[in-house]
Structure formats: C-alpha cells, structure tokens
Chains A and B, each alone.
Chain A
Amino acid sequence: MLPEKSEVVVIGGGIVGVAIAHELAKRGIDVTVLEKRFIGSGSTFRCGTGIRQQFNDEANVRVMKRSVELWEKYSREYNFSFSQTGYLFLLYDEGEVETFKRNIKIQNKFGVPTRLITPEEAKEIVPLLDISEVIAASWNPTDGKADPFEATTAFAIKAKEYGAKLLEYTEVKGFIIENGEIKGVKTNRGIIKTGIVVNATNAWAKLINAMAGIRLKIPIEPYKHQAVITQPIKRGTINPMVISFKYGHAYLTQTFHGGIIGGIGYEVGPTYDLTPTYEFLREVSYYFTKIIPALKNLLILRTWAGYYAKTPDSNPAIGKIDELSDYYIAAGFSGHGFMMAPAVGEMIADLITRGKTNLPIEWYDPYRFERGELRTAALQMG
C-alpha cells in the first residue's frame, strides 16, 4: 500500500535513490522511494561495476575518496562484495603521460595514493596485458569494483530496516503544487503527501523536472552505451579495471562470477533505445583484443545497453532547486554514478537535514548550466 504521507519522497530506486534513502532513514527521517519498476532496475542493472577515485579535479577526487570510505564501511557492515583491486589506466604517449601526471598530482594532494608506474609493473598486475605500445600507467590500488545489483539490494534492505519505505512498480505521474510548494506526489497507485522531493531518476530526470514545472535549464540527456560479457574464466585473471583511452576509451575487468565485462566509448544518442548494435560488437572485440590479446580465444556470451545520463560537462546536477520548495536533484551522472552513490547519499541527506554539507557539492551546482559555468569535463569511461 502507498503510505498516505512521507516527510521525504525520493523518486527513483536505482543505486543513487536507494543510497539517499538509506542515509536519510539512518538519520531518522521518514523517507519513501518511488520506483516505477523494481529496485535497481534502470542503469544500475546495466552498469559496469567500477569504483574509482582517479578524477581530474578537486571536487570529484574528494567526493570519490569519501565514497570509497563509505563503500569500504558499508560493504563490511552489510556484507556485500566490494574489492579494492585498483584501476589501471594504460598510457601510450607523452601527451597522455603529462595529463595523467597532472591528474595524479591533484589526486595525491587530496589523499588518493595514485602512482605513475612502468609498463612492466602494469604487466605484473595484469600478466595478460600487451604492453608493447604502453609507455606508462596510472595506478591506484585503492580503487575497486562491486556488483551494482548486489550492492543496491544490500543498501535497500538496510534502508528498510532503518524505516524507509521502498515502493516498487510505483510510477510518478505528477505533482501537487500550491504556491510554489510541493504538497504531494501523484502516482499510478494514488497520491502521497510530502513536502520534500528528491529527483534521483538520472536518465529520466528531465521528465520528472518537467512534471514539477521546473524552468531552470538542467540539460540531462540519455545516451546509449553498451557492454559485453565473455564466458567465465578462472578468477583473478584480470583483477583491476583496465582502461585504455587510446583503444576506444575501453574499460574492462573480471566480474566476481568470472566473466570479462566492459565497454568502450561508442556512444549513440540522445535516445531511450536500448538495443545492442552490431557495430559495438565489432568495435569492442577489436579494442579489447588489442589491450589483452588472450581475449581473442574467449566466447562472447552477450551484449546489452544502458543509459549514460549525460550533462554537457559530464558532471551530475546535485543540489536544491529554489524555485520549488523543497525540490532536490541528484541526476546526470554521465557514466560514473554508481561509484559516487554513497557520497551522494551523504550530500543530499546533509542538505536536507542540515542545509549544508562538508563535501564540495557546489561543483555539481544545478544552476551552473544556466549561468554558463561548465566545469572541466569529468573523466568519463566507456
């Protein structure tokens, strides 16, 4: 049954929505998540597992450092798999090395222990790598991976234990607004009274913003990104997430089950279509086997697609929208929302409960697009 009222309503039951609800419920706030399908069914369901702190600006590095602390803490407390097997960026020319030296400096400054390593060191970490063209690599052993669906489910179970209500197959259809104030949310299962709403719908964020009559320009568009999985092979074959910008913006790693999972930069959109394409199948095979030739022998079992909810600077919009009280947004994660989720949960909960947060949330200011203050583009994989 739909509760009659809830102090806070979070729209969207993906990893971000669930992480926000989890944090709010933990602080004693009465919170309800409205999810139109099942918990974790959107981009979370299709996501590539990676969690990294190797970004190129202060805000993202600090937020991800905090996020990894939370990943460590909660994976231990809630018993879901998160392993710090590192992120390895393969570098092929001096230009790339220079850029990454700058990035590493920022990362080190804020406590992320990334190092520039030699091709031989990289090969020690992933023995199957072809390092014939690699001249250096950027390596941070504290980055890692988690199973997105398992993690989301774990947060969801805990959120419920703290008193959150998670409503599946409940689709938001509109808002009840009086004098610029939210009074309730209309769903396919009736109305729920609330004064505070968080839009955590990522790829669908503009639809929810439109329902709420938000006039502020927050350009978030869905792009089709694809992924592949191979047959399972012996565990520990490819431990870290391996990245190669030179070869198609490829990312690949091994899942806990044993398959090699990953994707490339091949982007289609804006679109809500999710059919995998033949072109992706060809491209991903070409790039992956350039990076690790042994993959030639492996069977591809399946490809699939999901959304990157992209903004013009590849950074999300996280914050309060003042034209409608109390309306918050946490959307537009541009391909790296899964890893950020625990920290985003903390930031939004801070905003709602204390009106401020210690994390550098201004970087994700939803007003920056209208003001024309785009950030340096965040590093986007795939």
Chain B
Amino acid sequence: MRPLDLTEKSDKKVKIYFEGKELEAYEGEKLSVALLANEVYWLTTSTEGRKRGAFTFGPVPMKVNGVRGVDARKTRVTEGMKVERQSYPEFHEEPVIEGKETTQFVVDVAVIGGGPAGIGATLELQEDLTVALIEEKGWLGGDMWLKSSKQEGFNERARKAVEELTRNIKEDVRVFLGASALGVFDKGEYFLVPVVKESSLIEIMAKRVVLATGAVDSIMLFENNDMPGIFRRDFALEVMNVWEVAPGWNVAVTGSRAEEVIQELERWGIDYVYIPNVKRAEGEEKVEKVVDMNGNEYKVDALIFADGRRPDINPITQAGGKITFRRGYYGPIIDEKHRIREGIYVAGSAVSIKSHYANYLEGRLVGAYILREFGFDAEPCIYEEKLKEYEPESLPIPRIPLEKFNLEDVQICGCDVSLKKVDDVIRRGITDLQIIKRLTHLAMGYCQGRYCLFNGALVVSQRTGKKLGEIDLPVARSPIKNVRMGVLARR
C-alpha cells in the first residue's frame, strides 16, 4: 500500500514517474489522486510563484509525457507516465488538441447535472420523453456520491441510494459522463446545449432544459489558503470516499460544516483536530502547521475546510436567469413552475441548500411540470407538498477578520488575486464589482468567479455597510466551463 492509501486496491498496478521518481499508481486513477496517495501535494506553481496543490481553487497545469498544460484533475494515469511540475503560464507550442467530428442529438429535455436533482428529473421524464443527462464528473450522484453517511428520506447510505436510483435510469436515456456543458443558447425553436467530452464536441438540441447544476463549496479566507495540502470539503470527501486515499493521517478541520467531514474522518480512522478559527497555514512544500486566531499552533499534514455550499449561479445567469440574495446566499429567481425563464427549469441545490432527498424531490417536481407541459399525466402537486416539509437551510454570512490577517497572504481567487489587492481597491472607494473585477482580475480567471465572487461581494459589504442583497454580481458568459480552443475549431 502507498503511504496514504486507505484500502488495498485491486485495480491493475502501473508505474508513473514524478520529477523522475518512480511511483506506484492504479489504472483509472486520477493523476492528482495518484500523486496524493504517494504524499505528493505540491503539483504546480502560480504565475506569481505560489505553490499549489489540486484540492482547492485554481487550475493544476502539469507537464505530462512532455506535454505542458495538462490538467492534473482530469487526467487518468497510464503505465510509464512521466509527470513534472510546471508554472501556470507555461503552455505547449505544438498543437496537441485536435477537435473530433461534432455529433448532434435531438431530445425533448436536456438535464444538466447528474446529482440527485438531475437523476430525479430524469427518472420522472424518461417514461414519456427523450432525455439527455449531462454530468461533468465521471460519476452520477453529484455531491451525494462523495458521502458514506445515511441519508434522510432515502433511509440508506448515500452511495447505496445513488446506485439504486441510477439503476432505474432507462437505457434509452443518453447519459454523458465526464462531459461539460458550455452553456444554454436559445435558438427559438429549441435550446442548444453544447457539451465537451474530452476532445469531442456534442451539440444537444432540446425543447426544454433542466439546470440541475448544483452548489459549490464556499472558499474560506485565511493566510495561505491556497497552499498544497489545503482541501476543500468536496475534494477531501472525494479522495476518501471515491478513491480511498487519505488527505493525510493527521489533519485539521475547520468551517461551519466541519461535522460533515469529521464523521468521514472518524469512519476511516484518520486523526484530526478541529480548529474553529484558522488564521494561517504554513509549510515548505505543503501544510505542516496551522495557527489559529489565538496563536495556538497545530502540527498537521493537511487542512480541510467545510463552510457551506452556495448555489452555482453561473449556469443560471448565462442561461438568462436573474438572481437574488436570500438565506445567506445568491440563488435563482424562479416562477411558480421552477423556471428561470420560458423553457428553462432549475432544481436541486442550484435553487437552494437543502437535503439530498429534497433536491431529488425537486428534480422529480420539475420533471412533472415538464411532462404536464407536453400533455402527459403527471402529479407535480404531490412533490410540491412533500417538498414543503424541507425548509431550505440558511447559511451564516461570514465575517472576515480583515484587521487580523496579513491580507497579502490570503488568496481570494485562484489566479493570484490576494485579499489585499481587492481590499485596497475597495478602500479607494470603488465598490462596483464590475470595476473591482477589471482592476484586480477577481473572477476573470479559470473559475469565472465561481469560487471568489461571493467573497468579493462579502468584502464590499463589510467595508461599505452595503447589504449583500444590494450588491450586483456580474453575470456569467459562455463558455461556463473552460474549453480548449482546438475542440471548437473543427469545421
């Protein structure tokens, strides 16, 4: 077993080479995970020279078999693979990305997102309508697939419940795994949802669209929150429960939703310390020490933060939806049928934060509305009634201790934007996020603000006294997920 393996793996063993050193990996494993299992955390270096890992915000370009700019999160290991570190701006000058023939599919409904809501919508729709289910990850189940705990409503352990649900998906549903939707484009007669899977472009033409696009983990602000060994909740759960690799054997946990992580650590027998108020992470190549606001120091291998998820508003605003601030987060404005506009429905944690079961019900509900629209029998009111039992959660609005931090060391955005850069602009009197974006590059990088815009709004609110609901967020533009130009270039 490798140093951080939680279980003995039965997959085929392969050898890979990191910076010339031979390491053990398993076929099908993600490169970032295979390196973690071997205790390699530092994978890449930002433009301004900050060391970075793969498990919080920011891209992870690496040199793989001589090709620069390969995404370590999306690459699977193969026998003999040679892997080296590189810095963000390095790229490969020989064109290696070649687009394949574009394929097209016509369906009644395109469901974007394969979590509980997307699965719920698909199950509801599949008897009477043709459906395409598009999921960016390599698995169905969304966030629920990352957990082992028993889920209320399903009355089963999370992953088992997902397996049962997906077993009921009919064969004629077109399921696209590992496929990113670039946006929703209104063509009048239909909606076009272009999807990229590896180097292939798939154009899905659908009469209706369901955005079951989920929520994203909030990024916590503390010093060196971008360094190798920092784990966002979802990445920590993924390495443990999907890949059975530990983030470390002795980890620190922080954030208002730490409990969710702690129960998984306990299940795997990983030592942890809970630190309610992290000030700083430190270490040479990875986290070695965490310091709290009272100056207490903890020696650890990794730090996991879990501070609540907030709806991913990018797919909503790109598709033409409007957003509002409620319960501590921004979410879509929907009509009585859960539509952000004519023909585009939204369900799950893309709407509000609630249990997986409630999100699943909401998927079914939206499916039922669509069935009705197409003239089929359906009972949306049953789901509506059930859904009423689940009051969406409220998230506390964090208070950033701006005065206590060395702001230069706190990263607000994955692309070398420090909290200091943003705070300085705001203190000059600039409070419009459009302008802040332009002056600091906040939200102009790889994630299009997914992981940083909320915190940007938070700093504005804190410095000006303006309420978050009064702060306008810039809308997302296509493509809502990064796509290599070569994939789109083929005619």
Taking Cβ atoms with an 8 Å cutoff, the residues of A that contact B are: 38, 41, 45, 128, 149, 229-235, 257-258, 275-278, 281-282, 285-286, 288-290, 293-304
Q: Is the CB of B89 within 8 A of A232?
A: yes
How many Å from the CB of B110 to the closest CB on chain A? Answer: 14
CB-contact partner of A301 in B47, B432, B448, under 8 A: B448
A-B contact pairs, 10 of them (CB 8 A): A231-B446, A278-B192, A281-B478, A282-B488, A288-B485, A288-B489, A296-B96, A296-B489, A300-B479, A300-B485
How many residues of B sit at the interface, in one of the four size bands?
Answer: 35 or more
B186: nearest residue on chain A (CB-CB)?
A275
Q: Is the CB of B446 within 8 A of A276?
A: no
Q: Is the CB of B89 within 8 A of A278?
A: no
In the bound complex, CA of A231 to CA of B485 (Å): 11
Q: Is the CB of A300 within 8 A of B484?
A: yes
A303-B477 contact given A289-B485, A298-B485, CB 8 Å threshold: yes
In the bound complex, CA of A282 to CA of B491 (Å): 8
Q: Is the CB of A289 within 8 A of B91?
A: no
Which residues in A have their C-beta under 8 angstroms from that of B231?
none
Which residues in A have their C-beta under 8 angstroms from that of B489?
285-286, 288-290, 296
CB-contact partner of A294 in B94, B415, B434, B438, under 8 A: B94
B88: nearest residue on chain A (CB-CB)?
A232
Q: Is the CB of B89 within 8 A of A233?
A: yes
B97: nearest residue on chain A (CB-CB)?
A296
Q: Is the CB of A281 within 8 A of B486?
A: no
How many Å from the CB of A125 to the closest CB on chain B? Answer: 16
CB-contact partner of A233 in B91, B434, B438, B487, under 8 A: B91
B2 close to chain A: CB less than 8 A:
no
Chain B residues 26-78 with CB under 8 Å of chain A are 47, 59, 69
Which residues in A have their C-beta under 8 angstroms from that of B434?
38, 41, 45
Q: Is the CB of B183 within 8 A of A296?
A: no
B4 close to chain A: CB less than 8 A:
no
CB-contact partner of B182 in A45, A281, A286, A295, under 8 A: A281
How many Å from the CB of B97 to the closest CB on chain A? Answer: 5
Q: Is the CB of A234 within 8 A of B89?
A: yes
Which residues in A have their C-beta under 8 angstroms from that of B192?
278
How many Å from the CB of A354 to the closest CB on chain B? Answer: 36
In the bound complex, CA of A42 to CA of B66 (Å): 44
Which residues in A have their C-beta under 8 angstroms from that of B448?
301-302
Which residues in B have their C-beta under 8 angstroms from that of A304?
477
In the bound complex, CA of A48 to CA of B488 (Å): 22
In the bound complex, CA of A1 to CA of B277 (Å): 44
Which residues in A have their C-beta under 8 angstroms from that of B482?
231, 299-301
Which residues in B have their C-beta under 8 angstroms from that of A281?
182, 194, 478-479, 488
B441 close to chain A: CB less than 8 A:
yes
How many Å from the CB of A194 to the closest CB on chain B? Answer: 27
Q: Is the CB of A276 within 8 A of B91?
A: no
In the bound complex, CA of A275 to CA of B192 (Å): 14
Q: Is the CB of B95 within 8 A of A294?
A: yes
Taking Cβ atoms with an 8 Å cutoff, the residues of B that contact A are: 47, 59, 69, 88-98, 182-183, 185, 192, 194, 320, 415, 432, 434-435, 438-439, 441, 444-446, 448, 477-479, 482-491
The 3 A-B pairs at the shortest CB distance, nearest first, are namely A296-B486, A285-B488, A299-B482
Which residues in B have their C-beta under 8 angstroms from that of A41?
434
How many Å from the CB of A307 to the closest CB on chain B? Answer: 16
Which residues in B have their C-beta under 8 angstroms from that of A293?
95
Which residues in B have their C-beta under 8 angstroms from that of A230?
485
Q: Is the CB of B486 within 8 A of A258?
A: no
A299-B484 contact given A232-B88, A258-B89, CB 8 Å threshold: yes
How many Å from the CB of A287 to the closest CB on chain B? Answer: 9
Q: Is the CB of A38 within 8 A of B435?
A: yes
Q: Is the CB of A302 within 8 A of B477?
A: yes
B91: nearest residue on chain A (CB-CB)?
A233
A301-B446 contact given A281-B182, A281-B479, CB 8 Å threshold: yes
CB-contact partner of B96 in A128, A233, A257, A297, under 8 A: A297
In the bound complex, CA of A277 to CA of B478 (Å): 8
In the bound complex, CA of A231 to CA of B94 (Å): 17
Q: Is the CB of B182 within 8 A of A289?
A: no
Q: Is the CB of B47 within 8 A of A276?
A: no
Which residues in B have their C-beta under 8 angstroms from that of A258?
47, 89
A282: nearest residue on chain B (CB-CB)?
B488
A299: nearest residue on chain B (CB-CB)?
B482
In the bound complex, CA of A295 to CA of B478 (Å): 18
How many Å from the CB of A261 to the closest CB on chain B? Answer: 11
In the bound complex, CA of A230 to CA of B96 (Å): 16
Q: Is the CB of A301 within 8 A of B93?
A: no
A149-B438 contact given A281-B478, A303-B477, CB 8 Å threshold: yes
B69: nearest residue on chain A (CB-CB)?
A297
Which residues in A have their C-beta under 8 angstroms from that of B444?
229, 301-302
Which residues in B have their C-beta under 8 angstroms from that of A234?
89-91
B70: nearest residue on chain A (CB-CB)?
A297
Which residues in B have their C-beta under 8 angstroms from that of A289?
95, 485-486, 489
CB-contact partner of A297 in B92, B183, B446, B491, under 8 A: B92
Which residues in B have their C-beta under 8 angstroms from that of A297?
69, 91-92, 95-97, 484-486
How many Å from the CB of A167 to the closest CB on chain B? Answer: 15
Which residues in B have their C-beta under 8 angstroms from that of A278?
182-183, 185, 192, 194, 478
How many Å from the CB of A277 to the closest CB on chain B? Answer: 7
A294: nearest residue on chain B (CB-CB)?
B93
Q: Is the CB of B491 within 8 A of A298?
A: no
In the bound complex, CA of A258 to CA of B490 (Å): 25
* Candidate in B434, B438, B486, B488 with the most chain A CB atoms within 10 angstroms: B488
